[in-house]
């Protein structure tokens, strides 16, 4: 894993201190995990409403999914605390993937109500 060409160690001490600061407290992590668990419960519950919500059911599920996704990325993956570059690189991938594949499905008329 540590395959850097040129490890430069002149700031080892500083780096060590910085590492302690970075990230949230364990308490925060536990709270986030609890929140995620609750969200998952909501999701499962929503899926059991037997389409009582009509077309909004999918929308609710996708929203909950997005919230969970962002929570894990921001807190567990430290994007909230890390440099913006990491966030940009990762979300660039997520956005490209979403746009491209949604576009592809659109050419199959996937989003039309009569698909299949």
**Positions 76 through 105 that interact with another protein (CB under 8 A):** 76-78, 82-83, 85-86, 89-90, 92-94, 96-101, 103-105
The interface with another protein within residues 13-72 (CB under 8 A) comprises: 14-16, 18-20, 22-23, 25-26, 29-30, 32-33, 36-37, 40, 43-44, 46-48, 58, 61-62, 64-65, 68-69, 72
Residue 41 CA to residue 18 CA, distance in Å, equals: 37
Residue 39 CB, shortest distance to another protein, in Å, is 9
Residue 43 contacts residue 65 (beta carbons within 8 Å): yes
Residue 57 contacts residue 49 (beta carbons within 8 Å): yes
Residue 52 CB, shortest distance to another protein, in Å, is 14
Q: Which of residues 55, 107, 113, 114 is near another protein by CB under 8 A?
A: 107
Residue 106 contacts residue 100 (beta carbons within 8 Å): no
CA 58 to each of CA 44, 51, 64: distance values in angstroms, whole numbers, following the listed order: 12, 9, 10
Residue 54 CB, shortest distance to another protein, in Å, is 14
């Amino acid at each position: 894993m540590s395959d850097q060409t040129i490890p430069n160690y002149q700031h080892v001490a500083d780096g060590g201190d910085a590492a302690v600061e970075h990230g949230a407290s364990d308490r925060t992590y536990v709270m986030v995990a609890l929140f995620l668990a609750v969200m998952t419960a909501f999701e499962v519950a929503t899926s059991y409403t037997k389409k009582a919500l009509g077309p909004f059911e999918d929308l609710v599920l996708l929203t909950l999914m997005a919230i969970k996704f962002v929570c894990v990325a921001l807190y567990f993956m430290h994007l909230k605390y890390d440099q913006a570059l990491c966030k940009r690189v990762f979300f660039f991938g997520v956005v490209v993937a979403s746009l491209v594949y949604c576009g592809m499905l659109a050419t199959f008329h996937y989003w039309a109500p009569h698909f299949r």
